[in-house]
Chain A
């Protein structure tokens, strides 16, 4: 695992770009943080928190991707809430409240794709 220190963030190498299948999410373990990675058909890669706020299960990487209007999305496989892959916002809470102590949105992590490798940026302390 390569770590490059900068002033506020740490960049963590995760996997080869080719290891990600378009539209099929994958989970990554970055220190203590579980991240859900999504490679889309346009080539972009998005990284969100892997823990579903409505069930507490670490399963977001196993959700179905899609679009709402122009916004790329992923649906939680547990209770089907839909989240934006761009900013992690919950677009449809399906009439449910998130688990106690959680907000309804997912954290997003900046992704870097270089030399066929995927790395994500964590703010220090995360």
Chain B
């Protein structure tokens, strides 16, 4: 029988609980209802500050949204629990509903605690916890900036982790910011005196004022009743400010507990045992609201651990809390700060090695056992690149000269020490080095995506990914496996290397290329790849020279093969703009040849069911009417989607259709490692969904914002901002270079989003290369694109002019016009579709293709 679990709270830990329960409860023993206070599905609260660098709230959503579609999962947004009756086993909600439970999981998290500060209720005082908080903060600052005739000034009360996050947010909104901290140093919980000083120097260098050892006394109103100043104890005058963010810590949301007779800890939090259970065996508490081992933990990693434990217990396991790992690594205001293990050297006899470099602005400290061999903890400020390798070493020997671990990564002197199997590599998901090794050796995971999928390591915050990759590579090398980039058995190199080899050699024939760079006679992997490379380099016809035999059937016949071996035909409709007479022509062709018609997602029309031998006649009609190949069959530019833009739309600020048509005509026929789709929106409303495209242009008042790396398909991604507010000419040049650089360097079938992620230095480096020309290859990329644009020809028209190539379009070499006798169709919604096996066997109506044709 299905039992009902009610989760109170809809934050990150609640999400992890539901995700883990649904993953592990394969029997469907439990149905889950999540009662969330916030109006949106669980999101990455740790990543909240990304909102200020342009990440949309919906991009912060956690995990696969399909989780909330699971029939065993109900997510109730905006309806928080207000009462708990453990005798009746019900939770009442704000909407007055009583929800019964068999098991209850309290995952209410924390609230932002505001100290008793007079004036803290004035308009212009904010906390920093939810999406709604940051949206309101940004609106306030933007509104003040618009109405004041000077820069906005702000103060952050609290110089801890959250306070510095908030300071970063204000700075990004161009607010002149002061951080006020009561303790004598910043981030007093994570770093020591030396680390605090280094941090302060760096942050002041960024233009943020820092006041430590300062007590906030009151927020004072301005004449208009909004925030005007922040009074600090001992100062003559209040600090003049227009906005105040209070970030003085969080407190557990444990208000349901006491009235229901559940004990809370001395500083709040629902008391639980090491299995995350309250004395009521039906009630668990996990995450920040739980008081475990006598304290509440304000980090997400132990919260995730608790969620996993609660799931394990529900499923009959006996997992216990392993103790909290309070290690943190953050980037605050662009500054790396990390703290791990016994950072404050509280262990008896602990030794410290400190390396402080005021010039580079770094502070690094290792805490070692009394014999200076075993790593106990550490603090890293300014450069935390060694965090990923050091943190898992806690409890392990560092070798004879531990100080070498403090030299910058890549300096070469770093000792090669093996991580113990028990060392935790991914603290978000609790994955040990041993688990990662086992996934490589025992489960046959031989690339990073496989290891991540198998172990979940590196799937949350991602900070351990370099280490996971290293562990995987070492383990593969031990097993005699190479991390192979070989394309197939015929070419030992990856596509990007082969591209360069072909380009430099100047070879243009398959037989020469495979003889020079490969072995054997190729296969269906390397042959199309070589054809694509040659197409990019020389833009010759897909059937030129000996290339027909290299092409996938789609490219070979310039149409898309469907399940029954017939093809679909898509004429190009640049930007989705089409003249009525062309629309009529497409309709006529479909009628004449009896083709099934469907509008595509790329704003054009697909004609299905054309037989091989019919293709030239269909093209002839389309080409005669001024249409051309849409390359729907190629790993090539497909479409440039657009909204109607400023020519018709009331809101459009640029001519998005004109731009889309120009882009589509410019890049049509460009062969690439995977299909390419572009989009152009005429204003920020983004009706063309350009951020779902490999390249998306979004109009601004001044020009265009260029987004890159958006993909649909199996792993959808939003495109990332490459450049802002550029004029049309610059936008085109940047897109030229981006596309050509991608085409040159991406792996076979690698779409733009994973290419960007895998590119060394990521999008920032790609921006340096294509916008700032850091490699000096800009002119070369420009020239190659210019050659492409100049040498474009319509592939369909070219075949129609060539009797030799036309001969390839016969159904049978000994019966060129006889249709494939195996084809059979049935009618559905007024058009035809291929008959199923069953319909063929017992079929009511089978329509032979010949009878559908008007033309004989």
Interface residues of A (CB under 8 A from B): 1, 14-15, 19-24, 26-30, 32, 34, 37, 41, 51, 55-59, 62-69, 72-73, 75, 77-78, 80, 82, 99-100
B854 adjacent to chain A (CB < 8 Å): no
In the complex, the answer to whether B822 meets A78 with C-beta atoms within 8 Å is: no
In the complex, the answer to whether A14 meets B814 with C-beta atoms within 8 Å is: yes
Could you list 6 further interchain pairs (A-B, Cβ under 8 angstroms) beyond the known A26-B813, A55-B563, A73-B523? A15-B814, A27-B812, A32-B821, A41-B511, A62-B612, A66-B523
Interface membership of chain B positions 438-453, coded 1 if the CB is closer than 8 angstroms to chain A and 0 otherwise:
0000000000000000
Chain A residues with CB below 8 A from B814, complex form: 1, 14-15, 28-30
Chain A residues with CB below 8 A from B557, complex form: 62
Chain A residues with CB below 8 A from B520, complex form: 66-67, 69
Alpha-carbon distance between A87 and B561 when the two chains are bound, in angstroms: 26
**Residue ID in chain B nearest A65 by CB atoms:** B549
Alpha-carbon distance between A28 and B511 when the two chains are bound, in angstroms: 27
**Residue ID in chain A nearest B510 by CB atoms:** A23
In the complex, the answer to whether A19 meets B522 with C-beta atoms within 8 Å is: no
Which range contains the number of B residues in contact with the other chain? Answer: 35 or more
With A34-B822, A55-B563, A77-B553 given, is the CB distance from A66 to B522 under 8 Å?
A: yes
**Residue ID in chain B nearest A59 by CB atoms:** B565
Alpha-carbon distance between A51 and B313 when the two chains are bound, in angstroms: 54
Closest 8 CB pairs of A and B: A57-B565, A66-B523, A23-B549, A75-B524, A77-B553, A64-B524, A59-B565, A67-B520
Alpha-carbon distance between A55 and B814 when the two chains are bound, in angstroms: 24
Alpha-carbon distance between A80 and B511 when the two chains are bound, in angstroms: 23
In the complex, the answer to whether B548 meets A58 with C-beta atoms within 8 Å is: no
Instruction: Give A62 Cβ to nearest chain B Cβ, in Å.
Output: 4
Chain A residues with CB below 8 A from B813, complex form: 14-15, 19-20, 26-28, 37
Alpha-carbon distance between A22 and B612 when the two chains are bound, in angstroms: 20
B765 adjacent to chain A (CB < 8 Å): no
A-B contact pairs, 11 of them (CB 8 A): A23-B521, A28-B813, A29-B821, A30-B814, A57-B563, A62-B553, A65-B549, A67-B522, A68-B489, A78-B565, A80-B524
A-B contact count (CB 8 A): 110
With A59-B565, A64-B528 given, is the CB distance from A24 to B808 under 8 Å?
A: yes
Instruction: Give B751 Cβ to nearest chain A Cβ, in Å.
Output: 19
Alpha-carbon distance between A19 and B564 when the two chains are bound, in angstroms: 26
Chain A residues with CB below 8 A from B556, complex form: 62
Interface membership of chain B positions 534-578, coded 1 if the CB is closer than 8 angstroms to chain A and 0 otherwise:
000000000000101111111011000101110000000000000
B815 adjacent to chain A (CB < 8 Å): yes
With A23-B549, A58-B822, A78-B561 given, is the CB distance from A64 to B811 under 8 Å?
A: no
Instruction: Give B709 Cβ to nearest chain A Cβ, in Å.
Output: 27
Among residues 370 to 394 in chain B, which have CB atoms less than 8 Å away from a CB atom of chain A? none
Alpha-carbon distance between A22 and B557 when the two chains are bound, in angstroms: 17
In the complex, the answer to whether A64 meets B527 with C-beta atoms within 8 Å is: yes
In the complex, the answer to whether A77 meets B522 with C-beta atoms within 8 Å is: no
B820 adjacent to chain A (CB < 8 Å): yes
Alpha-carbon distance between A8 and B808 when the two chains are bound, in angstroms: 34
In the complex, the answer to whether A64 meets B550 with C-beta atoms within 8 Å is: yes
In the complex, the answer to whether B549 meets A22 with C-beta atoms within 8 Å is: yes
Among residues 683 to 710 in chain B, which have CB atoms less than 8 Å away from a CB atom of chain A? none
Chain B residues with CB below 8 A from A82, complex form: 523-524
In the complex, the answer to whether B812 meets A29 with C-beta atoms within 8 Å is: yes
In the complex, the answer to whether A58 meets B820 with C-beta atoms within 8 Å is: yes
In the complex, the answer to whether A58 meets B522 with C-beta atoms within 8 Å is: no
B581 adjacent to chain A (CB < 8 Å): no
Interface residues of B (CB under 8 A from A): 489-490, 511, 520-524, 527-528, 546, 548-554, 556-557, 561, 563-565, 612, 808, 811-815, 818, 820-822, 837
In the complex, the answer to whether A29 meets B561 with C-beta atoms within 8 Å is: no
Most buried by B among A20, A32, A34, A82: A34
Chain A residues with CB below 8 A from B546, complex form: 22-23
Instruction: Give A54 Cβ to nearest chain B Cβ, in Å.
Output: 11
**Residue ID in chain A nearest B811 by CB atoms:** A27
Chain B residues with CB below 8 A from A78, complex form: 561, 563, 565
Alpha-carbon distance between A14 and B511 when the two chains are bound, in angstroms: 28
Instruction: Give A32 Cβ to nearest chain B Cβ, in Å.
Output: 8
Identify A41's interface contact among B521, B548, B811, CB under 8 A: B521
Identify A64's interface contact among B490, B549, B815, B820, CB under 8 A: B549
**Residue ID in chain B nearest A118 by CB atoms:** B813
Instruction: Give A14 Cβ to nearest chain B Cβ, in Å.
Output: 5
Chain A residues with CB below 8 A from B523, complex form: 64, 66-68, 73, 75, 82
In the complex, the answer to whether A57 meets B564 with C-beta atoms within 8 Å is: yes
**Residue ID in chain B nearest A101 by CB atoms:** B837
Alpha-carbon distance between A34 and B813 when the two chains are bound, in angstroms: 11
Alpha-carbon distance between A48 and B821 when the two chains are bound, in angstroms: 17
In the complex, the answer to whether A67 meets B521 with C-beta atoms within 8 Å is: yes
In the complex, the answer to whether B548 meets A21 with C-beta atoms within 8 Å is: yes
Instruction: Give B815 Cβ to nearest chain A Cβ, in Å.
Output: 5
Chain A residues with CB below 8 A from B521, complex form: 23, 41, 65-67, 72
Alpha-carbon distance between A22 and B547 when the two chains are bound, in angstroms: 11
Alpha-carbon distance between A84 and B489 when the two chains are bound, in angstroms: 16
Chain B residues with CB below 8 A from A56, complex form: 564, 822, 837
**Residue ID in chain A nearest B840 by CB atoms:** A56
Instruction: Give A25 Cβ to nearest chain B Cβ, in Å.
Output: 9
Alpha-carbon distance between A31 and B311 when the two chains are bound, in angstroms: 65
Instruction: Give B523 Cβ to nearest chain A Cβ, in Å.
Output: 4
With A23-B549, A67-B521 given, is the CB distance from A51 to B561 under 8 Å?
A: no
Alpha-carbon distance between A102 and B225 when the two chains are bound, in angstroms: 82
Instruction: Give A98 Cβ to nearest chain B Cβ, in Å.
Output: 12
**Residue ID in chain A nearest B523 by CB atoms:** A66
Alpha-carbon distance between A59 and B560 when the two chains are bound, in angstroms: 13
Chain A residues with CB below 8 A from B821, complex form: 29, 32, 34
Chain B residues with CB below 8 A from A24, complex form: 548-549, 808
Instruction: Give B818 Cβ to nearest chain A Cβ, in Å.
Output: 6
**Residue ID in chain A nearest B815 by CB atoms:** A29
Chain B residues with CB below 8 A from A63, complex form: 524, 553
Most buried by B among A15, A56, A63: A56
Chain B residues with CB below 8 A from A99, complex form: 837
Instruction: Give B529 Cβ to nearest chain A Cβ, in Å.
Output: 11
Instruction: Give B522 Cβ to nearest chain A Cβ, in Å.
Output: 5
Alpha-carbon distance between A84 and B624 when the two chains are bound, in angstroms: 43
Instruction: Give B848 Cβ to nearest chain A Cβ, in Å.
Output: 15
Instruction: Give B567 Cβ to nearest chain A Cβ, in Å.
Output: 10
Alpha-carbon distance between A62 and B561 when the two chains are bound, in angstroms: 10
With A29-B812, A58-B820 given, is the CB distance from A66 to B527 under 8 Å?
A: yes
